[in-house]
Amino acid sequence: MYLEATLTPPVKETMRTSGADAVLRSFIAEDVDLIFGYPGGAIMPVYDALYHYQEQVRHVLTRHEQGAIHAAQGYARVTGKVGVVLATSGPGATNLITGIADAMIDSTPLVCITGQVGSHLLGTDAFQEIDIISISMPATKWNYQVTKAEQLPEALSRAFYIARSGRPGPVLIDITKDAQFEMFDFAYRKCKQIRSYTPVPTLNLNRVGEAADLINSAKKPLVVFGQGVILGNAEKEFRQLIEKANLPAATTLLGLSALPSDHPLHVGMLGMHGNYAPNVLTNECDVLIAIGMRFDDRVTGDLSRFAKQAKVIHFDIDPSEINKNVQADVAVLGDCKESLRALIPLVYERSHQNWLQEFEVLKGVEQCKVIEQDLKPTSGSISMGEVIHQVNLQTDGNAVLVTDVGQHQMVASRYTQFKQSKSNITSGGLGTMGFCLPAALGAKLGAPEREVIAVIGDGGFQMTIQELGAIFQTKAAVKIIILNNSFLGMVRQWQQLFFDKRYSSTEMENPDFVAIAKGYGIEGESISEREDLPAAVSEMLQHKGSFLLEVHVGKGDNVFPMVPTGASVSEIRLE
Amino acid sequence: MEQAYTLSIFSENSVGLLNRITSILTRRHLNIDSINSSESESSGIYRFTIVVKTTEAQVKKLVLQLEKQVEVMKAVYHTDSDTVFQEIALYKISTRSISEGNLVEKLIRDNNARILSVESDFMIIEKTGHKEETQELLDFLSPYGVLEFVRSGRVSVTKPMGELEGI
């Protein structure tokens, strides 16, 4: 046995079946009804089995394996369920790697199934053979190669359990072709526990007490929260905590939507292009309360000058995050829903009026120097900010925002108004261009009742543009907004600010995006005039199916505020 | 300050785990001084012993990263003074070059070494000890011509009683 585990009794009597059939039966036992993938030689037996189960398990054929995995990520992020991906061996498997790495760093639960050459061919450089286990090892939470059909049910039950438990992450199961064909006696037993694996550390109530003492003694407390609040389904508890003690709360990029954007205690986004007040006041707070976040370098800026004056409390489910980047004075390990429930009764009611006022003052400065011009410019090209503002007005903050990577991502994250959780899907840690379009497809299929809006730059759009084909075929009503500045805008911004305006390979000559969309049967419109914006956004939202709206925005626009690389967060620049 | 740390990693015996463990070190640009894997005192649980030169701040993070792996039960680190450790070295030398006088007897006595095999043209000497000790014997033998030399990875047990219970 490769992993000692506790399993539930078999869901059904044993039955004689093939390995490929067992994969599908395992999916059904795990309540999987939607998967994403791309067929090929070494995974064909599973695809053949899929044909038999298509009523129970819907398969979405993307146009590239990278599209399949990003779609599964979008699905997982919007539903909170495990995303499932199928791909063949060799290039099919290697094309998943970017998405696997993205899911690993952003804690997204995925089970990836790859076909592998027959076990007798392993190590022979056979056609489409690659050692995907070794390649995916540093980017997976767990991976395993199955060479015998009888290993499949246990490998898959462990895969789903590991992917979704504790800090979620991607798991890869590589199945040799002979194991897919092999007949065996199938019985599925869900995994409940693995001997060597502690997904959720036991909560230490002494630590919770110490955290409460620090919070109660704080004159200038600041809460910084991340995706852990969403992954832990702790939005309600989180809100109770901050409301009870009137704690100002700032989000990371992935924490967005855990707390409604218009909540009076929401003081904005942290980080390089975050809001002015929380960045500046990070270096003035006396107690920093980090909840489900990992102090990414884009959040902390120069670590040696990050919140040095503050006592730090760190709530996390992953022990390896404690003291990784920022030393914690009190570390509370555990599931944050449970930790916060224990903490709330111990925290005193406070008003922190003067301290909250400091955020208001700095917010006013940012409003005046940056936000007004971003959202309501009166001359020049359309700004990215006013497009997002228009979307906010017309969706009333109820849409799921899916973004790619770059300037548009920062602007959309800064200005989108979120009302409900799991509404922000973006590639945070890895910064994967090309993430957005397929992730938006997966999000729409996972939450068909919700408006899903993909906001993409012209660069990232062209990295996975072929997924228009998958959107066309599935008829998923994804609304696509391309913020086209004919540049790789974020790189261009850095070239302007830090590389002496040497615009090396960042200008793009772009195709007619609307014509391309129309080629895929997707309606579209392109605008470049301010007065056309409200009607164009309205048309996009009213349209029944998918719609592509291309907005030509200012070529040389930059995103501010900005914490330059190597600077302290309190040195954030407004211009 | 960098110094040698002995990592003891208790794990399931699964294909590829070694790869996962070493990639945690290589990702941080750490060189492995020595590595050993064997069964532990608990049935079915394997123990990796890895020696790595790094700082205490880094090694603290390393053990947490190692423990994060699904198949790893426990990872601990120790300095040399907290463990009893040994390495084994084998030396193959020409019989003729060393058989004059009482040289062989002297080197066996002085080094607490032993002869594993004597053939007509070569002999195999074994010595266990710390690296400096096996190195000392290698330096001593070098003038006589060492045909082959090999040293194992470190194996170590911890000094505090009962520290690893409950794994």
Contact, B117 vs B123, CB < 8 A?
A: yes
Q: Which residues of B touch A142 (CB under 8 A)?
A: 70-71
If one counts every other C-beta atom within 10 angstroms of the C-beta of residue B102, the result is: 8
In our burial notation (b when 16+ CB lie closer than 10 A, e otherwise), range B84-94 reads ebebebbbbbe
Which phi and psi (to 5°) does residue A197 adopt? -130, 125
Q: What is the pLDDT of residues A68-88, one digit of tens each?
A: 999 999 999 999 999 999 999
Contact, A393 vs A415, CB < 8 A?
A: no
Are B55 and B77 part of one and the same domain?
yes
pLDDT tier at A1 (50, 70, 90 boundaries)? very low
Cβ B61–A141 below 8 Å, yes or no? no
Return the percentage of chain A with pLDDT > 70, whole number: 99
Distance from CA of A140 to the nearest CA of B (A): 10
Could you tell me if residue B120 is inside a domain?
yes
Q: Which of A27, A36, A177, A237 is catalytic?
A: A177
- Which of the residues B15, B69, B70 would you substitute to probe the A interface, choosing the one with the greatest number of A C-beta atoms within 10 Å? B70
Distance CA A314, CA A221 (A): 13
Are B92 and B135 part of one and the same domain?
yes
Q: Which residues of A touch B44 (CB under 8 A)?
A: 4
Are B16 and B46 part of one and the same domain?
yes
The residues in B 26-55 lying below 8 A from A, measured between CB atoms, are 27, 44
Could you tell me if residue B15 is inside a domain?
yes
Cβ B67–A197 below 8 Å, yes or no? no
> What is the number of residues in chain A?
575
Are B107 and B127 part of one and the same domain?
yes
Within 8 A by CB and 6+ apart from A29, the residues are: A11, A157, A188, A190
Break chain A down into helix, strand, coil percent, rounded to 5.
Answer: 40, 20, 40
State mean pLDDT over A254-283.
98
Examine the pLDDT at B166 and tell me if it is beyond 70.
no
Q: Which amino acid, B57?
A: A
How far is C-alpha A65 from the chain's CA centre? 18
Q: Going from the N-terminus, what domains does chain A have, and what CATH number goes with each?
A: 5-194 (3.40.50.970), 205-359 (3.40.50.1220), 376-552 (3.40.50.970)
Could you tell me if residue B157 is inside a domain?
no
Q: Which residues of B touch A325 (CB under 8 A)?
A: none
Using CA atoms, how far residue A536 sits from A390, A398, A407, in Å, is 10, 19, 22
Q: What is the pLDDT of residues A388-410, one digit of tens each?
A: 999 999 999 999 999 999 999 99
Per-residue pLDDT, A6: 81
| Mean confidence (pLDDT) of chain A | 97
State mean pLDDT over B151-163.
85
Examine the pLDDT at A155 and tell me if it is beyond 80.
yes
Complex ipTM: 0.91
State mean pLDDT over A375-380.
95
Are B63 and B98 part of one and the same domain?
no
Q: Which residues of A touch B72 (CB under 8 A)?
A: 196
- The CATH number for B70's domain is 3.30.70.260
Q: What is the pLDDT of residues A220-232, one digit of tens each?
A: 999 999 999 999 9
Residue B99 at interface with chain A, using a CB cutoff of 8 Å = no
Cβ A323–B71 below 8 Å, yes or no? no
Instruction: Report how many domains make up chain B.
Output: 2
Per-residue pLDDT, A238: 98
Distance CA A74, CA A72 (A): 5
Are B73 and B129 part of one and the same domain?
no
Per-residue pLDDT, B165: 62
Examine the pLDDT at A471 and tell me if it is beyond 60.
yes
Range of the domain at B30: 3-83
Residue from B161, B156, B162 nearest B77 by CA = B156
Q: Which residues of B touch A318 (CB under 8 A)?
A: 68
Distance CA A235, CA A258 (A): 6
Q: Which of A104, A433, A463, A490 is catalytic?
A: A490
Q: Which residues of B touch A173 (CB under 8 A)?
A: none
Distance CA A243, CA A255 (A): 18
Distance CA A13, CA A23 (A): 16
Q: What is the pLDDT of residues A4-42, one digit of tens each?
A: 788 877 766 678 999 999 999 999 999 999 999 999 999
Cβ B19–A4 below 8 Å, yes or no? no
Tell me whether strands A183-186 and A221-225 are parallel, antiparallel or unpaired.
unpaired
Per-residue pLDDT, A154: 96
Coil vs helix vs strand at A508: coil
If one counts every other C-beta atom within 10 angstroms of the C-beta of residue A411, the result is: 27
Per-residue pLDDT, B143: 87
Using the Cα atoms of residue A76, residue A82, residue A86 and residue A87 in order, give the sign of their dihedral: positive
Per-residue pLDDT, A114: 98
Cβ A138–B20 below 8 Å, yes or no? yes
Are B56 and B114 part of one and the same domain?
no
Return the percentage of chain B with pLDDT > 70, whole number: 95
pLDDT tier at B167 (50, 70, 90 boundaries)? low
Contact, A503 vs A527, CB < 8 A?
A: no
Could you tell me if residue B165 is inside a domain?
no
Q: Which amino acid, A70?
A: H
Domain boundary among B83, B118, B137: B83
Distance CA A25, CA A188 (A): 8
Per-residue pLDDT, A159: 98
Distance CA A280, CA A220 (A): 13
Are B90 and B135 part of one and the same domain?
yes
Reply yes or no on whether A499 is catalytic. Answer: no
Are B99 and B79 part of one and the same domain?
no
Within 8 A by CB and 6+ apart from A379, the residues are: none
- The CATH number for B127's domain is 3.30.70.1150
Distance from CA of B132 to the nearest CA of A (A): 35
Could you tell me if residue B161 is inside a domain?
no
Per-residue pLDDT, B97: 77
Tell me whether strands A249-251 and A266-269 are parallel, antiparallel or unpaired.
parallel
State mean pLDDT over B101-127.
88
Are B60 and B115 part of one and the same domain?
no
Residue of chain A whose alpha carbon sits nearest to that of B74? A196
State mean pLDDT over A523-544.
98
Tell me whether strands A452-457 and B146-151 are parallel, antiparallel or unpaired.
unpaired
The dihedral region occupied by A135, where left means phi > 0, alpha psi between -120 and 50, and beta the remainder, is: alpha
Break chain B down into helix, strand, coil percent, rounded to 5.
Answer: 30, 40, 30
Nearest to B23 among A3, A138, A322 (CB): A138
Look at A461-475, B53-67, B130-144 and tell me which has the smallest mean pLDDT.
Answer: B130-144
Reply yes or no on whether A490 is catalytic. Answer: yes
Could you tell me if residue B163 is inside a domain?
no
Instruction: Give the Cα-Cα-Cα angle A405, A410, A414 (nearest 5 degrees).
Output: 145
Per-residue pLDDT, A200: 98
Cβ B19–A319 below 8 Å, yes or no? no
Secondary element (H or E) of residue A93: helix A91-94
Reply yes or no on whether A575 is catalytic. Answer: no
pLDDT tier at B163 (50, 70, 90 boundaries)? low
Q: What is the pLDDT of residues A43-64, one digit of tens each?
A: 999 999 999 999 999 999 999 9
Could you tell me if residue B29 is inside a domain?
yes
Count Cα neighbours of B15 within 13 Å in the Cβ-side half-sphere: 8
Reply yes or no on whether A410 is catalytic. Answer: no
Residue of chain A whose alpha carbon sits nearest to that of B70? A197
Contact, B31 vs B52, CB < 8 A?
A: yes
Which tokens go with A139? 């980017």
Contact, A23 vs A56, CB < 8 A?
A: no
Which phi and psi (to 5°) does residue A416 adopt? -65, 135
Nearest to A2 among B12, B19, B60 (CB): B12
Residue that is written with structure tokens 């500046």 in the block: A280
Residue B67 at interface with chain A, using a CB cutoff of 8 Å = yes
Examine the pLDDT at B76 and tell me if it is beyond 50.
yes
Contact, A240 vs A344, CB < 8 A?
A: yes
Examine the pLDDT at A194 and tell me if it is beyond 70.
yes
Cβ A3–B19 below 8 Å, yes or no? no
Nearest to B71 among A196, A319, A320 (CB): A196
Are B21 and B58 part of one and the same domain?
yes
Could you tell me if residue B156 is inside a domain?
no
pLDDT tier at B162 (50, 70, 90 boundaries)? low
Residue of chain B whose alpha carbon sits nearest to that of A3? B12
Are B24 and B74 part of one and the same domain?
yes
Distance CA A90, CA A70 (A): 19
Q: Is A53 exposed, middle or buried (0-12, 13-18, 19+ CB in 10 A)?
A: middle
Nearest to B12 among A196, A319, A324 (CB): A196
**β-sheet with B32-39: strand ranges across:** B32-39, B46-54, B3-11, B72-79
Within 8 A by CB and 6+ apart from A121, the residues are: A129
Q: Which residues of A touch B16 (CB under 8 A)?
A: 133-134, 137, 143, 145
Residue B73 at interface with chain A, using a CB cutoff of 8 Å = yes
State mean pLDDT over B103-127.
89
Reply yes or no on whether A461 is catalytic. Answer: no
